[in-house]
Amino acid sequence: MLQSVEKFVADMRQVCETTPGDEKWDICRDLLRDLLKDPELQKHAEAWPVGGFDGKKVDNLLFYEDPDHGFVINGLIKNPGGRAMIHDHGKAWTIYGVLSGNERVVRYKEIENPDGEAGYQEEHEVKCSPGQVDVVPPWEIHSEYAGDDKTIAVIVRSQRSGTFEQYRYYDDGGKVKFPGPNQVPYELG
């Protein structure tokens, strides 16, 4: 792995061993901000492939999964104008850092439509440019929208997608369980 990523992993392992509860994810945000500044990582990321879509779910690059603490490091690349479906990350914490490009991360709240069906309304948004990090707590409904350029994000999750229950939410209402993005192993070295 790149030296900066090895340092991030060592620091994050230390945080997991010494910081109780959910406080560790605020520390992770600061560690990820530092990692995003690394010129070697930025250069390496230029060659990361845009994730595919198998008709059910998108691809995330899987850089690392911690054998003791379970946290993972993923990469997500979107073409200009790309978006993620409205979704949550179940019980997992997600620390989402933009390495290049600009994204709009939108939080949604569930509402009841006049017909009694569930719907989703935009609650607020966070604009993320390179170096910015957004913390997504468990069960928070959200989506990411790429700007006019390709976006590259580095994501730290408290556990690997596919190991917990999560949902996709339809723009016009309703939700469905889904197993999260495909995890595509990719070396950072």
**Domain boundaries defined on the chain:** 3-185
Q: According to the model, what pLDDT value does residue 102 have?
A: 96
Please give the Cα distance from 135 to 29 (Å, whole number). Answer: 7
Q: Average pLDDT of 142-146?
A: 94
The strand pair at 59-65 and 72-78 is best described as antiparallel
pTM confidence score: 0.92
Query: Domain 3-185 is classified in which CATH homologous superfamily?
Result: Jelly Rolls (2.60.120.10)
For the chain, the distance separating the N- and C-terminal CA atoms, rounded to the nearest angstrom, is 4
- For residue 53, the model assigns a pLDDT of 62
Beta pairing partners, 96: 134, 155
